[in-house]
Chain A
Amino acid sequence: MNNLTQSDELFERARVVVPGGIYGHVSPAAGLPRHFPHFCDRAQGCGFVDVDGNEWIDFMCGFGAILHGYNHPEIEESVALQREKGSVFNQPSPVMVELAERLVSSIDFADWAVFAKNGSDLTTWAIRVARESTGSPLVIKAKGAYHGVDSWCDPGHGGRIPEDRASILEFEWNDLEALSVIMSQNEGDIAALILTPYHHAAFAPSELPDPGFWAEVEKLCQRYGILLVLDDVRCGGRLHGGGSHRYFGFTPDLAVYSKALGNGYAISACVGKESYRKASMEVFLTGSCWNDAVAMTAALKSLELSEREGVAEKVLAKGKELTEGLERVAEKFEKNLKMTGPPSMPYPWIEGDENLFEIQKFCQFCAEEGIYFHPHHNWFLGNAHDSESIEKAIHVAGRAFERMSEEERTS
């Protein structure tokens, strides 16, 4: 059992001055509040140390923001050099141009790039570009897909008015027939179809695209003159170095990246085809610290590393080692664990565990031995994971399944 005294004390202080103490996806309420620490002190490679000094092997990578490992020396060195010069100025730094050039050269369909801070900034902007380009109001998304905090798509309930969702239409992931019906029934009124590369909803197993899904989606979008917006915020960098569309073999019109782009420095990017350059210039875009040369430097270095070291392929391979190992030890204890989704971003699902009690117990037991597996969100592999960390995690997982079996036997 981990000591969480400092975490709890800090949390009580936070509760006084921050509504709910900690909010959003990192709120303790969304994880295992009595088993995960509330606050982190430092992190290095694939591990972190919480405020009570407990050491963890991490499989969330800052919910995806860390691709090359925490505190990566080469990235931090470039960042330090840029920081000496400054971060935000009246004008952008030359690094903005370099970063845009890098994205345009490494993403096959991209002819231009713009930058912001968060994924949400640019998923919302991208659908507005689509509206500007098509003159149509409606947007289609997959049911249960997360695209950010804005009211057209956030998963919360408060502060919403019916108009927020009035122009959003939804279909079930992989249900091409439903998608085609929505498009034909609203012909001429749809601006964009926004999709993630595969369906990675929280609290549910991930769903890969069925064979032929993306080809049909492309065809339908072309037929109805709808922009295909790829929300690659979460997957970007972990499936393919040139963008996740390459992993699944299709071409979007616009794509949005964030999470792993800056390896922990806040930055997002939207890239697009030439034909949408003009529309993009009509949709106002700016933010207080968006021309942040430090974050842009981090992104530039991170992309360079990804290409140089073939990071997407590596994290997929590391994920395969982890997921196969976990499924193997689960089977030993007669648990039907399925690691769903691509191996670099696996979501754990135990067959028959509809109420999630078992996965919560499993992650609790792993947490007690310093392995940070999230029960409700896809995990993230990073390039700092090595065989040692993966083997240790598999070993601990085996013990967790064993404990679960014992508990079941005795209860």
Chain B
Amino acid sequence: MTEFPQERIVPWAAARSIFGATAVMGELDGMTQKLEPVLLSGDRISIGKNGLVFKQDSLLRAIKSGFSMPELFPMLMNPFSAIKAIITLKRISRFYDPNLNLRESLPVILRAGLETVTVYLNHHSRFNDMFSDFSDELITFNLAGSEPIGWLRRSTEGLFTAGSESAVGNPSVELTFLNKEIAFEGLLRGIDQLGATASGEMMIQGRLPLMDKIGYVSRIAQKEVPQPRL
């Protein structure tokens, strides 16, 4: 896990967040294609299996500014698939709109965020030893009085994965947002973790040291990786 090229972490995390968002969109509408990224040589990342390939810098620019040119050759080879991927990409941003149905958006933006965090947890050299005291762990993310909206899991071997369907197993930590507005705001802009737990805006039950560490990594990832609102 440690050999992952550190300079590729930010673009890869951004690409994984696109995957996370589209995976949940697919679960919601049964149509959206999951844009699973592939790490290519020459600082390139493919968004989806074929057609849409970006230079890393271009991908980040596309995410930050809403536009950037993908590579032409792969697009010409698979024009239909590339255009479909671009349309899917463009549809992600509406889930980041606070005026739309937040209950529907939350699993999408949570999963996008969790995918970003898993890249940091699995590959960032700074966090290599941070979780050595933990084994098989499950963290569930919930909305008070409603179904869980996502989860993060650490395997005994130390691999982190994220998901949005209902999680199997006993959680080590349950994080519950008081309501969807707080959850949305927290996921988008971050949350004052000390204040929000004290006030009850966010409730954490279980192994606090695990959540404390995950929270720290999440805040760094959130600061460094642009959200896929393109």
Q: Is the CB of B199 within 8 A of A29?
A: no
Specify which of B130, B204, B205 is in contact with A29 (CB 8 Å cutoff).
Answer: B204
From known contacts A157-B213, A157-B216, A355-B172, infer whether A34 and B194 are also in contact, taking CB-CB under 8 Å. no
What string of 1s and 0s marks CB contacts (under 8 Å) between B156-174 and chain A?
0000000000000011110
| A405 in the interface (beta carbon within 8 A) | no
Question: 25 A-B Cβ contacts within 8 A?
Answer: A15-B195, A15-B199, A20-B193, A20-B194, A21-B195, A21-B198, A28-B197, A29-B208, A30-B208, A33-B197, A33-B198, A33-B199, A38-B198, A144-B133, A157-B130, A157-B213, A158-B216, A203-B207, A203-B209, A355-B171, A356-B206, A356-B207, A357-B205, A360-B206, A376-B208
Chain A: which residue is nearest B217 at the CB level? Answer: A157
Q: Is the CB of B194 within 8 A of A21?
A: yes
Q: Is the CB of A20 within 8 A of B200?
A: no
Q: Determine the main DSSP class of A at the interface with B.
A: loop
Chain B: which residue is nearest A7 at the CB level? Answer: B198
| A23 in the interface (beta carbon within 8 A) | yes
Q: How many Å lie between the Cα of A144 and that of B133 in the bound state?
A: 10
| B182 in the interface (beta carbon within 8 A) | no
| A22 in the interface (beta carbon within 8 A) | yes
From known contacts A34-B200, A157-B213, infer whether A355 and B207 are also in contact, taking CB-CB under 8 Å. yes
User: Measuring CB to CB, which residues of chain A are less than 8 angstroms from any residue of chain B?
Assistant: 8, 11-12, 15, 19-23, 27-30, 33-34, 38, 144, 157-158, 202-203, 354-357, 360, 376
| B27 in the interface (beta carbon within 8 A) | no
Q: Which residues of A contact B194 (CB under 8 A)?
A: 19-23, 27-29
| B192 in the interface (beta carbon within 8 A) | yes
Min CB gap A22→B, angstroms: 7
Q: Which residues of B contact A202 (CB under 8 A)?
A: 209
From known contacts A20-B192, A29-B194, A355-B172, infer whether A8 and B206 are also in contact, taking CB-CB under 8 Å. no
Specify which of A12, A19, A355, A376 is in contact with B199 (CB 8 Å cutoff).
Answer: A12
Q: Is the CB of B170 within 8 A of A355?
A: yes
Min CB gap A368→B, angstroms: 16
| B203 in the interface (beta carbon within 8 A) | yes
Q: Which residues of A contact B193 (CB under 8 A)?
A: 20, 29
From known contacts A29-B193, A355-B171, infer whether A11 and B198 are also in contact, taking CB-CB under 8 Å. yes
Q: Which residues of B contact A23 (CB under 8 A)?
A: 194
Q: Determine the main DSSP class of B at the interface with A.
A: mixed
Q: Is the CB of B198 within 8 A of A355?
A: no
Q: Is the CB of B198 within 8 A of A22?
A: yes
Q: How many Å lie between the Cα of A234 and that of B208 in the bound state?
A: 22
| Residue of B198, B200, B208 with most partner-chain A CB within 10 A | B198
Q: How many Å lie between the Cα of A360 and that of B197 in the bound state?
A: 15
Q: How many Å lie between the Cα of A8 and that of B173 in the bound state?
A: 24
Q: How many Å lie between the Cα of A144 and that of B134 in the bound state?
A: 13
Chain A: which residue is nearest B211 at the CB level? Answer: A29
Q: Which residues of A contact B208 (CB under 8 A)?
A: 29-30, 203, 356, 376
Q: How many Å lie between the Cα of A34 and that of B199 in the bound state?
A: 7
Q: Is the CB of B206 within 8 A of A355?
A: yes
Q: Which residues of B contact A38 (CB under 8 A)?
A: 198
Q: Which residues of B contact A20 (CB under 8 A)?
A: 192-195
Q: Which residues of A contact B171 (CB under 8 A)?
A: 355
What string of 1s and 0s marks CB contacts (under 8 Å) between B131-173 and chain A?
0010000000000000000000000000000000000001111
Chain A: which residue is nearest B200 at the CB level? Answer: A34
Q: How many Å lie between the Cα of A377 and that of B146 in the bound state?
A: 31
Q: Is the CB of B213 within 8 A of A28?
A: no
Min CB gap A288→B, angstroms: 27
Min CB gap A32→B, angstroms: 10
Q: Which residues of B contact A11 (CB under 8 A)?
A: 195, 198-199
Q: How many Å lie between the Cα of A376 and that of B209 in the bound state?
A: 10
**Extra A-B contacts (13), CB below 8 Å, given A20-B192, A29-B204, A203-B207:** A11-B195, A15-B195, A21-B195, A21-B198, A22-B198, A30-B208, A34-B203, A157-B130, A157-B216, A202-B209, A203-B209, A355-B206, A356-B206
Q: How many Å lie between the Cα of A29 and that of B204 in the bound state?
A: 8
Q: How many Å lie between the Cα of A21 and that of B198 in the bound state?
A: 8
Q: How many Å lie between the Cα of A34 and that of B178 in the bound state?
A: 12
Chain A: which residue is nearest B174 at the CB level? Answer: A357
Q: Is the CB of A29 within 8 A of B206?
A: no
Specify which of A15, A34, A157, A354 is in contact with B192 (CB 8 Å cutoff).
Answer: A15
Q: How many Å lie between the Cα of A354 and that of B138 in the bound state?
A: 12
Q: Is the CB of B192 within 8 A of A355?
A: no
Q: How many Å lie between the Cα of A386 and that of B125 in the bound state?
A: 52
